[in-house]
Amino acid sequence: MAAVTEQFTQHLSAAYKYGGESLWEFAYKELDEAGALCDDASLSDDERQSCHRRFLLQKGAIERRQGDFAEAIRTLEHAISEYGTYDLEHARMLGELGTAFQRQDSFERADELYAEQHALAIKLAAEAKDQRSVWRAEALAARAIGYRGIMAYMLNVPDLEDNGRTNHEGLSDAINKSMQRVASTRTLLRAIANEDAAFQHEVKATTCICVALDRLSLCYGASGNTAEAVKWARETVAEGKAFDPTIQAFGRFFLGLALQRNGDLEEAMQQWTRHGKGDLETAAIALCRQPSSETLGYMKQLVKYQVPLDHYNEQGYSPLDYAIMGGSETMGALVMQGLRQEYLRNGFTPDETEVLIEMRKTEADRRKEYRSIFQKSFRPLLRTSAAETAKSSSDDQEVSSRAEQCIIRLRQEYSRLLVEQEITRSIFDDFKYIELSDFRSLTRLPQPGSLEDMNTMAESVQQFGNILEKQRNGSPFVVFLSYRWLGNGKPDDDQGTQLARMNAALSQFLATHPWLSEDRVAVWLDVGCIHQLDPDIR
């Protein structure tokens, strides 16, 4: 029992860590591992309920961080209705749900949830039986009042650049609540100064003082006190070094905004284009991770002042990727507007610029659809297969057979999606491969630009699930071949060096896998399996 709950906590902690670093595939893998333990037979009913609550809270938090706000709301509302015990976990759920509504611009509903969270946290602190429980509740209370300050700002400052529309009484309320969060947090951090590092980190992560400092800077800037705004924003950047790259990048954005309002555009641009020492997270990427009316207003400032947007973080994602994956057409259009200006400034012609924009948009659409396919279709199949394998014997042949069946189911699911979903069909191609015997018969690697070569290659290509697909003893075992072009604008040199290397690698592979017969093996080769003459398909 203890071992199961310990494993569960480890997986959940890892999911939280990966989510904070935007490593979504790793986060969901750990989340799946945790979820699989929730109904373990060794757990008591109370332990199962506790695991389910914690699992759903973390799932909702990851969905919210990833920009899937509607799904996060469904997850968290289900958790609250199903497991409605009024304790710290419930207070955390209220806050996470409030943030999801906030990201959907439902500020009144978010404020109601933050108010409920704050009242519950105050009550729990008063009733707590031990000091750490008091501190945990006080940390949630500080966080909740700070988020109520953010809602006061959003409800009373509708336009970042039109001060005439600002409700200054409401803005004062926002400042007061944000100051309360800062003061409460600093008092709390002093109180736990002698506690162990892990507990201090937990409290710091809950209170996240950077968010309060960000909003104080924003509020003072809106009130016209730009010098005070710069002061608080500099504190944000200093405090942010202890937090994840996205929080640090937000801090640099707010410092840049305060500096720009205070007349120092040069340093503002430095802050807006900087990234962290150990990461590539810029202000634009951070804003596009969480598309909402709030971040859209901030992003307009970056586009207005011509901040470069054509860059990628260490996960290989750009501002446009995050805007598209977050489902915000408005944010995506704004980023493309900024990219268009950037390309034109860099000397591209209008026609070249539109081609580049379309390429970036297509890349982002593909990444979004791939993520959707993997998480909603492939991941459940992989999870089921892993669970079945874990319950089976450790016999190598049985494990191998189950792995093969999983691959077949994945291929079948992919084929089904192509048939049933137009958007998938418009972005991805059928799964194709080349028989090993046909590949062995090649005397040279086909030239992608050659119609003759492509027509010859097309005769050898098999399509998974096609009625004409070769019948064999078992499903095709497909080997993916990756290679560099060796010739000058050609895939191989005149001696056929690359083709010889490929055949040698395949022979070595078969020698180390004697259970595979040659008639079962097929090859995935880009020049044969990706249409080379149609740029829209390629």
- The last residue of a domain, from among 427, 449, 464: 427
Asked if residue 497 and residue 478 are part of one domain, the reply reads yes
Distance between CA atoms of residues 469 and 472, nearest Å: 9
Asked if residue 422 and residue 439 are part of one domain, the reply reads no
3-class SS letters over 105-147? CCHHHHHHHHHHHHHHHHHHHHHCCCHHHHHHHHHHHHHHHHH
- Judged against a pLDDT cut of 70, whether residue 389 lies above it is answered with yes
Q: Which residue has the higher pLDDT, 347 or 19?
A: 347
- The last residue of a domain, from among 427, 448, 475: 427
Number of domain units in the chain: 2
Asked if residue 436 and residue 525 are part of one domain, the reply reads yes
The number of helix segments (H) and strand segments (E) in the chain equals: 25, 4
- The band of 468, judged by pLDDT with boundaries at 50, 70 and 90, is low
- The band of 538, judged by pLDDT with boundaries at 50, 70 and 90, is very low
pLDDT tens figures, 324-375: 988 889 999 999 999 999 999 999 999 999 999 999 999 999 998 988 898 8
Q: Percentage helix, strand, coil, to 5, in the chain?
A: 70, 5, 25
Contact 533, 451 (CB under 8 A): yes
pLDDT tens figures, 57-66: 999 999 988 8
Q: Which residue has the higher pLDDT, 176 or 391?
A: 176
Distance between CA atoms of residues 484 and 40, nearest Å: 48
Distance between CA atoms of residues 438 and 470, nearest Å: 12
Q: What are phi and psi of 477, to 5 degrees?
A: -95, 105
The residue whose two tokens read 């996060």 is 72
Tell me, yes or no, whether 89 lies in a domain: no
Asked if residue 442 and residue 423 are part of one domain, the reply reads no
Return left, alpha or beta for 172; rule: phi > 0 is left, psi -120 to 50 is alpha, else beta.
Answer: alpha
Asked if residue 492 and residue 459 are part of one domain, the reply reads yes
Asked if residue 439 and residue 401 are part of one domain, the reply reads no
Q: Which two tokens stand for residue 245?
A: 């790259």
Contact 202, 188 (CB under 8 A): no
Asked if residue 444 and residue 507 are part of one domain, the reply reads yes
Tell me, yes or no, whether 441 lies in a domain: yes
Tell me, yes or no, whether 27 lies in a domain: no
pLDDT tens figures, 88-129: 999 999 999 999 999 989 999 999 999 999 999 999 999 999
- The band of 285, judged by pLDDT with boundaries at 50, 70 and 90, is very high
How confident is the model over 314-327, as a mean pLDDT?
90
Q: What is the largest CA-CA distance in the chain?
A: 81
Tell me, yes or no, whether 341 lies in a domain: no
Distance between CA atoms of residues 240 and 298, nearest Å: 19
Q: Which two tokens stand for residue 132?
A: 């750490």
Q: Which residue has the higher pLDDT, 468 or 236?
A: 236
Tell me, yes or no, whether 479 lies in a domain: yes
pLDDT tens figures, 102-112: 998 999 999 99
Q: Residues 283-303, buried b or exposed e (16+ Cβ, 10 A)?
A: bbbbbbbbbbebbbbbbebbb
- The band of 288, judged by pLDDT with boundaries at 50, 70 and 90, is very high
Asked if residue 515 and residue 490 are part of one domain, the reply reads yes
Contact 265, 259 (CB under 8 A): yes
- The band of 533, judged by pLDDT with boundaries at 50, 70 and 90, is very low
Q: Which domain holds residue 496?
A: 432-529
How confident is the model over 188-212, as a mean pLDDT?
91
Distance between CA atoms of residues 407 and 72, nearest Å: 30
Asked if residue 498 and residue 446 are part of one domain, the reply reads yes
Name the CA radius of gyration of the chain, rounded: 27
Q: What angle do CA 312, 315, 319 make, to 5 degrees?
A: 40
Average pLDDT, the chain: 89
Distance between CA atoms of residues 192 and 135, nearest Å: 8
How confident is the model over 243-257, as a mean pLDDT?
91
Q: Which two tokens stand for residue 438?
A: 């046909």
Asked if residue 499 and residue 457 are part of one domain, the reply reads yes
Distance between CA atoms of residues 418 and 431, nearest Å: 10
- Judged against a pLDDT cut of 50, whether residue 532 lies above it is answered with no
- CA 239, distance to chain mean position in Å, is 24
What confidence score (pLDDT) does residue 90 get? 94
Distance between CA atoms of residues 217 and 67, nearest Å: 25
Distance between CA atoms of residues 417 and 206, nearest Å: 41
Contact 137, 128 (CB under 8 A): yes
Look up the pTM and report it.
Answer: 0.83
**3-class state of residue 285 by DSSP:** helix
Q: Which two tokens stand for residue 456?
A: 């010859």
Contact 226, 262 (CB under 8 A): yes
Asked if residue 514 and residue 446 are part of one domain, the reply reads yes
- The last residue of a domain, from among 402, 427, 452: 427
Asked if residue 437 and residue 525 are part of one domain, the reply reads yes
Tell me the sheet residues that pair with 75. none
The CA–CA distances, whole Å, from 357 to 296, 426, 435, 495 equal: 20, 18, 38, 40
Contact 175, 149 (CB under 8 A): yes
Tell me, yes or no, whether 66 lies in a domain: no
Tell me, yes or no, whether 447 lies in a domain: yes
Tell me, yes or no, whether 94 lies in a domain: no
